[in-house]
Structure 1
Amino acid sequence: MLRKFSCLILIAYICLFNSCITDTKDKNSIKVGFSQCISGDAWRDAMEYTMKLEASLNPNVELTVFNANRDVNKQIKQIESMIEKDLDVIIISPFDSKSLTSVLDKAFSKGIPVILLDRKVNSTSYTAYIGTDNIEVGQLAGKYLASLSEGKGVVLEVRGNPNTSPGLERSIGFHKVLHQFPAIKVISLVSKNDQLPQAEFNKIIEQNPNINYVFAYNDIIAYQVWQAAKKKEFENKIKIIGVDGLNGPSGGVQLVKDKIITATVLYPTGGAEAIKLALRICNKEIVPKHNELNTVLIDSINADILSNQFDRITVQQSNIESQLNVIKGQEERYITLYNLIKLLSFFLVIIFCLAVFSIYSVITIRNKKRLLEVNNYKITSQKNEIEKFVEKLKESNESKINFFTGISHEFKTPLTLILSSVESLHDEFQNKSNTVKKDLDIMYNNSMRLLRLINQLLDFRKVEDKKFTIKLSRNNLWKFSVNIFKEFKREAKKRNINYTIETDNEEIEVYFDVNLMDKVYYNLLSNCFKFTPDGGEIAIRIRQNSKDGFVKISFKDSGIGIPEKEIKQVFSPFFQGTNNYRNGSGIGLNLSKSFIDLHQGIIEVKSVNGAEFSVYLKLGESHLNKADIVNSSYHSFVTDENEYEYLENEFSQSSESLIVENKQSLLIVEDNIDLLDFMYSKLKEDYIVTRCNGLKAIEKALELMPDIVICDLNLPERNGFEICETLKKNMITSHIPVIILTAMDDSSTYLKSLEVGADLFLTKPFNFKVLKQSIKGLLFNREKLRYYYTNNIDKIESDNLSLIEKEFLNKINIILENNIDNSSFSVEELASSLNISRVQLYRKVKGVLGIGVGDYINNFRLDKAKILLSTTTMNISEIAYSCGFASPNYFSTAFKTKFGVTPKDYRNN
């Protein structure tokens, strides 16, 4: 009891310690992003300052400021970035009124509140606008100027960019007032990026020397006008009105006090108000869409008063900022001391518990030691008896399971042959009795169902024994899903089920085991169709979550659903729901979960108006074992709607490509998976067997250059006659013997096979012993032909080679004859002269003659030298060089190696 009590105290203090390390303030942070359109501007800097100050007064506000610096495209990218980060509120000061429409629509449609600050846009897709009424600003300046000029005079208006709402609206308000005074003449000049165009300004001054007043877009331009006028020495003749009214050394208020400009219109920044509005929105308060800030005209009368007020506000803001920094430092110090105290308390409790536990242990160990010694003998005896019993029970159970597994394996072979026979019969009765076809369909479907159940039981056994190996590859998940989706379209159409599939990314790539994931899809879709009534709905949806790094695959049906109390048991072995009126093994979902676990994924289920199974797979490969990734290239998923997808693939592709010395190679082209696997299993011991389902059979043969091709007649892409004829007419593959298999036994089919050059014609069902002996006979004849020609290179016309092979070898001999004295003539040059690759040349010569290209060239040179030794008086060195040998010594060595005598002894004899 003391030990338990001590453990409880430790656990409690650990929890307390962990809680003190985390932030003591349990507040949800509000993420606010601000996109500023212009940088390096005093008014904009004041806006950012007031915004940051207001945010600092609310510790739960996280403010991030982005600056576009007059670049519209950059501002659009910044706003898109804020949308992707899913910020709580986005504040935007647009650069112009037109460019941001689409990105604002995107944010608005995603539900992110958008606050426009200072400037407006040509869109209604925003939550609120805050800023001063720029038309009122223009009107205020116009009224002041009209009063100042007594309704007459010449006015120069230096306008802002008309593409921005302030530049346009201030001018509208200004002209709206001055149009009421015909005696006032207005001359307009457009500024560029808040800069006065000096040349144009000077030109206007020269043309209009009677200008009395200037209305500038902002105080910066107003000051630039004064500087330009000063250079012309008429700064005292004009009165300048600006806009902004900032306080500070270079602000509009100071310019008025220094009598540089006559007046300025106060244009509040609205930074603090924008943060306050964002907080109200996050607190679900109803806010007006348009929020206008008040303005006032500042001239020499009120400039000092406003300047003093602004100075006081600045001092107060500075004091607030200093106080916030002090408070923040105190909080950090408090948290540090608080955590330190708790840490010390934690260690004190541990020391106390250890001391108590040590005393208790000394007392109890002495007493328990005696009891343990007494009980140890009894326990040891009982343990030995239990181990013997468990061993016997394990042996008995293992023998039963092995018997069961063995029987299940035995079922697969006859089932595979039954399926093959049923398919053959189905083809035979294609145009005959519908009753017979229907019976065959029933036989086929039930045989398939039995085969799938057997495979599931065998998979279940593998999972239990932890012998399942996963083979991961990178695949296009959408293409994979669509191909399996097609497998159930016929059933959906037959039962009038609304069967759909959709995704948000057709190019998504995921690492998974194609065979295992195929079984997961089949189990989940089979469940959907099993429990969905006719006329119901079944939907597959694939959604990518790049932020969290996973993809979600959901299978939703409108069936009977799963009782809520039984949902946790769905993935248990042999589970059957209480509302399940269909027969089943109850291991499909358990297997599916095991397969998803092998992928480091998650499978979940919920039941609302039907059942929905959701599979979550992680993106990328960082979570996977590198040893499980067998191929990083993309899979191409090609399926046949009549093909059953759950048949276990017992033969890995890697075993087909394994090169075994002294074994000849076979290429089996057959679209019947059962027969293909059957033939593979029977021939793989004696040959290197490669399987092909009929698609791209010609390309496969050109790639592998097998010793024999066994080809079915009826194939999906090309029939066996077309494949055989193409291979026999191709100079590269013409030497390869072809065996045609077909269910048709008529004389016309046999005659056609002879016409296309087939070496053997076997009808189904064929005797497998006959097939094996036929393969041996064809390979033996081919070896005899190779041996004969290797030793009789000059007798092409007299042997049993085909016309194409004779033509091929004749071409080689002519090229070698023309280059007989060229010792540097290489295999690459020979392949280039024949317009084929070096690899194809090697495989062709190896297939026809059984020797390499280099050996063939060497034999050709030696046979030519042999003739010259017998028919000419040239010396041995001359013959060696004329036949392309680099030196006489090498020629003599090669000659003796091939013919058993030296060149000199051969000529003498």
Structure 2
Amino acid sequence: MKIARILTATASALLVTLALSACENAVTPGSAPKVDPETAKIGLLLPDSVTARYENADKPYFAAELKSLCPRCKLLYANADGDASKQQQQAESMLAQGVSVLVLDPFDSEAAASIAADAQSNGIPVISYDRLVNSEHLDYYISFDNEKVGKLQAQALVEKLRADDKGKGDHGILMLNGSPTDNNASLFKKGAHEVIDKSGYKLLAEYDTPGWDPAKAQDWVTGQITQYGDRIDGIYAANDVLAGAAIASLKAADVSPIRPVIGQDAELAAIQRILAGDQYMTVYKAIQPEAEKAAQLAVALTKREHPEGETMVRVAGTDIPSFLLSVTPVRANNVEDTVVKDKFYGPNTVAKICTDYKSACAEHGIG
């Protein structure tokens, strides 16, 4: 009996010890789990592969800054390839792997709210990157002033039409908007409408492009050319991928002269089109400081530091500390002073722009 009592007491003590240990290691909802900031895992979730900047700029800039700040930290990376369900699975995988911070650029701003909620319920802070997640479960938001982007685009188009004395009578503008599931697209659209609606120019038609799909955008523009023909005097495109699709439609229909088309993101192909005279303008968003700031915030959060935001953005009834970076309109006359000066496409920026566009570059003093 004495031996039995000893064994029972020993087992009870062991159970208490195990229970205490489990409590120490359990994640309390809303509180960050203990991590070694020197070896933390940082998750970066990007939305699609259609937009060239994500693989060519955002990811490498983020990775380089993370390595500089925390050489032993591990980057977990995934691209949703334009699939909200896939992004959800990628986020769940990262949480299962013990990620310490999630940097989330949502493909679908509404659907990604569940990712943010899941992360924070497990004590994992979330940085909404470039596109705003429609959720109160965010620690930071970093992007650009996206309404201003739309305004700059529309202002450039309206000014061009006025300078060319176009857009009169039954002539007007096509609006090729971004994805209806992307909060940024709604901000671009809002900013553009504020300018176009007051401009006096007729809005012939507009289209919200599902998933930013250039094929769908091109099909729509082709249909509008069939319907409106020479009445189309300019096209607002929400980004450079859609601008490229619109220009492809105009060329396929032998529209001449090419109508002014505006985009944004300062993609390499867009800059080349601008120098060649096919695209009128784009908006330059310095992605390197955006990506680097996101990496800096992620590293700070692993150390349980919470830097103060530069502004507050209200989402889902909550004010989120935010950083909104400035943007610059780019036309042929300031390519040299923007993307070339900043080596936006890497150390061989000029070569990348000019190899197949030597005469256009020479005309604008680039090279």
Same topology, TM > 0.5: yes
Q: Contact (CA 8 Å) 1:160, 1:167: kept in 2 or not?
A: yes
Quick one: which of 233, 239, 257 aligns to 1:218?
239
- Report what 1:286 is aligned to: 307
Counterparts of 2:132 and 2:106, CA distance in 1: 7
The DSSP-based 3-state class of the residue aligned with 1:111 is coil
Residue identity opposite 1:124 in structure 2? E
Matches within 5 A, 1:506-905: none
- Report what 1:904 is aligned to: none
- Report what 1:778 is aligned to: none
- Return the offset for 1:232: 1.4
Counterparts of 2:207 and 2:190, CA distance in 1: 14
Establish whether residue 300 from structure 1 lines up as the match of residue 325 from structure 2: no
Give deviations 1:263-294, integer Å, cap 9, x for gaps.
00123433222112212333413232111121
Residue identity opposite 2:283 in structure 1? V
- Return the offset for 1:133: 2.1
Cα 1:47–1:312, aligned 2, differ >3 Å: closer, same or farther? closer
- Return the offset for 1:131: 0.8
Quick one: which of 36, 40, 50 aligns to 1:30?
40
Give deviations 1:239-281, integer Å, cap 9, x for gaps.
01011013x4x2x222212222010012343322211221233
Counterparts of 1:271 and 1:199, CA distance in 2: 33
Establish whether residue 206 from structure 1 lines up as the match of residue 206 from structure 2: no
- Report what 2:250 is aligned to: 229
Cα 1:56–1:254, aligned 2, differ >3 Å: closer, same or farther? farther
Counterparts of 1:161 and 1:148, CA distance in 2: 26
Counterparts of 1:47 and 1:311, CA distance in 2: 15
Counterparts of 1:235 and 1:203, CA distance in 2: 17
Matches within 5 A, 1:35-50: 35-45=45-55, 46-50=57-61
The DSSP-based 3-state class of the residue aligned with 2:263 is strand
- Return the offset for 1:181: 1.8
- Report what 1:54 is aligned to: 65
Cα 1:101–1:214, aligned 2, differ >3 Å: closer, same or farther? same
Counterparts of 2:67 and 2:199, CA distance in 1: 49
Segments of 5+ residues of structure 1 without an aligned counterpart are 1-25, 318-909
Quick one: which of 93, 98, 116 aligns to 2:110?
98
Counterparts of 1:203 and 1:179, CA distance in 2: 23
Establish whether residue 169 from structure 1 lines up as the match of residue 156 from structure 2: no
- Report what 1:195 is aligned to: 214
Q: Contact (CA 8 Å) 2:62, 2:292: kept in 1 or not?
A: yes
Quick one: which of 243, 252, 266 aligns to 2:264?
243
The DSSP-based 3-state class of the residue aligned with 1:81 is helix
- Return the offset for 1:187: 1.9
Identity fraction in percent:
25
Counterparts of 1:186 and 1:132, CA distance in 2: 29
Counterparts of 1:235 and 1:199, CA distance in 2: 19
Q: State the TM-score, normalized to the length of structure 1.
A: 0.30
- Report what 2:343 is aligned to: 311
- Return the offset for 1:65: 0.3
- Report what 1:569 is aligned to: none
Give deviations 1:128-169, integer Å, cap 9, x for gaps.
011112211111111122222229621111111112112211
- Return the offset for 1:316: 9.4
263-272 or 289-298: bigger deviation: 263-272
Cα 1:253–1:113, aligned 2, differ >3 Å: closer, same or farther? same
Q: Which runs of 4+ in 1 moved over 3 A?
A: none
Residue identity opposite 2:100 in structure 1? D
The DSSP-based 3-state class of the residue aligned with 2:336 is helix
Counterparts of 1:74 and 1:123, CA distance in 2: 19
- Report what 1:695 is aligned to: none
- Return the offset for 1:311: 2.8
Quick one: which of 275, 279, 283 aligns to 1:261?
279
Cα 1:30–1:287, aligned 2, differ >3 Å: closer, same or farther? farther
The DSSP-based 3-state class of the residue aligned with 2:347 is helix
- Report what 2:174 is aligned to: 156
Counterparts of 1:63 and 1:52, CA distance in 2: 7
- Return the offset for 1:94: 0.5
Residue identity opposite 1:277 in structure 2? L
- Report what 1:903 is aligned to: none
Structure 1 or 2, whichever has the larger Rg, is 1
Counterparts of 1:60 and 1:298, CA distance in 2: 39
- Return the offset for 1:41: 3.2
Q: Which protein has the bigger helix share?
A: 1
- Report what 2:123 is aligned to: 111
Segments of 5+ residues of structure 2 without an aligned counterpart are 1-35, 310-320, 350-367
- Report what 2:197 is aligned to: 179
Counterparts of 2:284 and 2:345, CA distance in 1: 15
- Return the offset for 1:313: 7.5
- Report what 1:276 is aligned to: 296
Residue identity opposite 2:186 in structure 1? L
- Return the offset for 1:72: 1.4
Cα 1:307–1:67, aligned 2, differ >3 Å: closer, same or farther? closer
- Return the offset for 1:115: 0.5
- Return the offset for 1:312: 7.5
How many residues are matched? Answer: 289
The DSSP-based 3-state class of the residue aligned with 2:117 is helix
- Return the offset for 1:195: 1.1
Quick one: which of 65, 88, 95 aligns to 1:83?
95
Residue identity opposite 2:124 in structure 1? I
Counterparts of 1:266 and 1:280, CA distance in 2: 28
Q: Alignment RMSD, CA only? A: 2.3
- Report what 1:123 is aligned to: 135
Cα 1:188–1:40, aligned 2, differ >3 Å: closer, same or farther? closer
Residue identity opposite 1:205 in structure 2? I
Counterparts of 2:324 and 2:264, CA distance in 1: 17
The DSSP-based 3-state class of the residue aligned with 1:311 is coil
Cα 1:186–1:139, aligned 2, differ >3 Å: closer, same or farther? farther
- Return the offset for 1:184: 3.6
Counterparts of 2:75 and 2:50, CA distance in 1: 20
Counterparts of 1:27 and 1:285, CA distance in 2: 14
Q: Contact (CA 8 Å) 2:157, 2:261: kept in 1 or not?
A: no
The DSSP-based 3-state class of the residue aligned with 1:301 is helix
- Return the offset for 1:110: 2.4
Q: Contact (CA 8 Å) 1:152, 1:181: kept in 2 or not?
A: no
Q: State the TM-score, normalized to the length of structure 2.
A: 0.73
Q: Contact (CA 8 Å) 2:282, 2:330: kept in 1 or not?
A: yes
The DSSP-based 3-state class of the residue aligned with 1:69 is coil
- Which is bigger in relative contact order (C-alpha 8 A, separation at least 6)? 2
